[in-house]
Amino acid sequence: MWAYDFECDKTMAEIISTLNESGPWEWVWRDKDAFGPYISSVPLEGVRARIYDLDGYYSNGPTYTADFKLGGGYKTERAAIDNVFSDLLCKLAVRNVTKGEGYD
């Protein structure tokens, strides 16, 4: 698993809308007790992507984490995922992107 922390002035609702309008990945709403509502995508077989608010339930930014997990036995390369995600981050007008911890 790997993750990125970033800042964005958009709410989670605005983030999912922008990402789904931009493509190529489809994002859906989820919920987890540990960090509340979040969005997730399965961009490729064996790959899971999530974006959640670092400040917890319903805070709507400005700090977010995106984490990625590759399933065992899949040949997708992290660089290919990171390239697409980097383009998506540009569409969100994020700032201060750093390596994150992620949450399993």
Q: Could you give the domains of the chain?
A: 2-100 (3.30.310)
DSSP string for 27-79: EEEEEETTTEEEEEE--STTEEEEEEETT-TT---SEEEEEEEEPTT----HH
- pLDDT tens digit string along 15-53? 999 999 999 999 999 987 776 789 999 998 899 999 998
- pLDDT tens digit string along 75-86? 778 899 999 999
Q: What is the pLDDT of residue 58?
A: 64
Report the predicted TM-score, pTM, of the whole model to 2 decimal places: 0.89
